[in-house]
Amino acid sequence: MTKERLYLFDTTLRDGAQTAGVEFSVEDKITITKLLDNLGVDYIEGGYPGANVVDTEFFEKDRTKNATFTAFGMTKRAGRSVENDPGVQGLLNSAAKAICFVAKAWDKQIEMAMGISQAENIEAIQSSVEATLSAKKECIVDCEHFFDGYKSNPDYAISCAKAAYDAGARWVVLCDTNGGTMPDEIEAIVTHVQQSVPGSHLGIHVHNDTEQAVANTLAAVRAGVRHVQGTLNGIGERCGNANMISLIPTFALKKPFCDELEIGVGQKELEGLTSLSRQFDELLNRAPARQAPYVGASAFATKAGIHASAILKDPSSYEHIDPAVVGNERNVMVSQQAGKSNLLTVLERVGLKIEKDDPRLDQLLRKVKEREARGYSYDGADASFALLARRTFGQLPQFFRVESFRTSVERRYNANGDLITMSEAIVKIEVDGEMLMSVAEGNGPVNALDLAMRKDLGKYSDRIDDLELVDFKVRILNGGTGAVTRVLVESRDNTGERWFTVGVSPNIIDASFEALYESVTYKLMKTES
């Protein structure tokens, strides 16, 4: 059976830019375009030239090698010609190879929000499409609010879609702009629309307001559309757009899609999906979602002891796909519930090949359980677990020793009557028999300690140059300031690796210092040759 082609249209740089807190520079857009172009999507919608300076500059050149470089904009205004509409002229004169127009399809919107007639709206669609084809560009028409429009006035909504198709649009995209439509409604409406526009010219664009953007997209594809719009990691206005990172492996691996349809993303690119998703989060300066389908750090993680031993016998018992296919990995966690088989898997992951009957395994397991009873948690702190294991197996040198530290915070009114707070720390470290003492100020006692400890590590100083603290989480375990404190520190370096270390103590400063010390030690361990 020959497979039908399914086209992927990425709108990360356009609809994704509507995400609260996200703002792309031209440089960001260039970087993301490269990621998408290598992934194998068919269209990259880069923005709205004319709407702001970033997008206008971005569309001065064609930025893609493989994908069709696409500009977004509004159909021409009613009451003026395409030639006299500066918005449309800006699109036609940009470096884009395709133009994606947003067109109204909801009778209520046309009358109320735009104040034009239904016929004027149809004419605007037609002439915008025709002008695009005359400019030798491919034309795509997003029918905004299509599903709400259909429920209000099906004939008119369909006539908008049909007008775009008849005028020569390559794709007519049905949009669930408000995100409130259910999958079965999508399927029924898409089926009906195909009496007027063939599925091979229909697309789908949905939002995640009921947590069903992926399901709604798949429902439309099952019903016949052959073009899907989405964004990396599902960013987008409100609850986000359909998540390309979940859709791509579903199309590639799940029936009936993988049997009947073909996408432009190859096997090798699929193996890069986890890394791409995390790179994109890096760019947005946010921590990747651990629970993200297919690509999250927890997507193939197992905590329960019984599940862990079953998974080692037969991975398909708790894994719906082989994680390697999307570049992810199995993650059997060490926790209260862990057994020995769990432990062996984790040890292998951190580079320790241990025999099943090595007596030190029991020793390590006891240590883990004893420390977890005291408040440590290793399922979120792989690096600390790796250090604990190496210490137990005698494979960790003591790079440096902390002799003592002191930190103080003082708040008072200064000579000008301003309230000021000063934090200072002194750390005394022994490296190779030599005592090094450093002092630093910080914007808090932990920050000051961190700076003081890393200020001078003697011969190791060069090796921690690129160590950077990303996040710092504090959890009080029994309630009240008198309880046990667990601190989790996330670090990264220039290789792009992120690691997590943990510290526990009744004293928040001790716990923080332990996690910081572990992070530095892990960095030294991994740079040991």
Size of the site for a copy of itself (CB under 8 A): 123
Contact 227, 171 (CB under 8 A): yes
Between 348 and 471, CB nearer to a copy of itself:
471
Alpha-carbon distance of 146 to 175, in angstroms, equals 5
Instruction: Give least dist CB 493 to a copy of itself, A.
Output: 14
Would you give the binding string for a copy of itself spanning residues 294-323, x where CB under 8 A is met? x-xxxxxxxxx--x--x--xx-xxxxxx--
User: How many CA atoms, within 13 angstroms, populate the side-chain half-sphere of residue 281?
Assistant: 18
Pairing of strands 227-230, 7-10: parallel
Could you give the C-alpha distances from 84 to 81, 120, 125, 127, in angstroms and in order?
5, 16, 15, 12
Nearest Cα residue to 243 out of 181, 285, 199, 289: 289
Question: Is residue 333 close enough to count as binding a copy of itself by CB under 8 A?
Answer: yes
Instruction: Give least dist CB 359 to a copy of itself, A.
Output: 26
Question: Is residue 219 close enough to count as binding a copy of itself by CB under 8 A?
Answer: yes
Instruction: Give least dist CB 69 to a copy of itself, A.
Output: 22
**63 to 92, contacts with a copy of itself by CB under 8 A?**
none
Alpha-carbon distance of 308 to 332, in angstroms, equals 7
Alpha-carbon distance of 154 to 190, in angstroms, equals 12
Instruction: Give least dist CB 90 to a copy of itself, A.
Output: 16
**102 to 131, contacts with a copy of itself by CB under 8 A?**
108-109, 112-113
Alpha-carbon distance of 224 to 218, in angstroms, equals 10
**162 to 201, contacts with a copy of itself by CB under 8 A?**
177-180, 182-184
Contact 425, 449 (CB under 8 A): yes
Candidate list 508, 517, 521, 523; residue touching a copy of itself; CB under 8 A = 508
Question: Is residue 470 close enough to count as binding a copy of itself by CB under 8 A?
Answer: yes
Instruction: Give least dist CB 22 to a copy of itself, A.
Output: 9
Instruction: Give least dist CB 119 to a copy of itself, A.
Output: 21
Between 237 and 262, CB nearer to a copy of itself:
237
CB atoms within 10 A of CB 7: 19
Candidate list 1, 2, 21, 136; residue touching a copy of itself; CB under 8 A = 21
Question: Is residue 61 close enough to count as binding a copy of itself by CB under 8 A?
Answer: no
Question: Is residue 18 close enough to count as binding a copy of itself by CB under 8 A?
Answer: yes
Residue with tokens 């984790």: 346
Between 106 and 460, CB nearer to a copy of itself:
106
Alpha-carbon distance of 204 to 217, in angstroms, equals 6
Question: Is residue 479 close enough to count as binding a copy of itself by CB under 8 A?
Answer: yes
Question: Is residue 439 close enough to count as binding a copy of itself by CB under 8 A?
Answer: no
Contact 216, 242 (CB under 8 A): yes
Candidate list 1, 23, 356, 394; residue touching a copy of itself; CB under 8 A = 23
**251 to 290, contacts with a copy of itself by CB under 8 A?**
254-255, 285, 287, 290
Question: Is residue 437 close enough to count as binding a copy of itself by CB under 8 A?
Answer: no
Question: Is residue 250 close enough to count as binding a copy of itself by CB under 8 A?
Answer: yes
Between 184 and 434, CB nearer to a copy of itself:
184
Angle between helix 183-193 and helix 154-167 axes, rounded to 10 deg: 60
Between 65 and 286, CB nearer to a copy of itself:
286
Q: SS3 for 493? A: coil
Residue with tokens 């879609």: 161
* Beta-bridge partners for 439: 426
Greatest Cα-to-Cα distance within the chain, rounded to the nearest angstrom: 87
Question: Is residue 328 close enough to count as binding a copy of itself by CB under 8 A?
Answer: no
Between 318 and 393, CB nearer to a copy of itself:
318
Q: What are phi and psi of 89, to 5 degrees?
A: -60, -40
Question: Is residue 371 close enough to count as binding a copy of itself by CB under 8 A?
Answer: no
Q: What are phi and psi of 323, to 5 degrees?
A: -55, -30
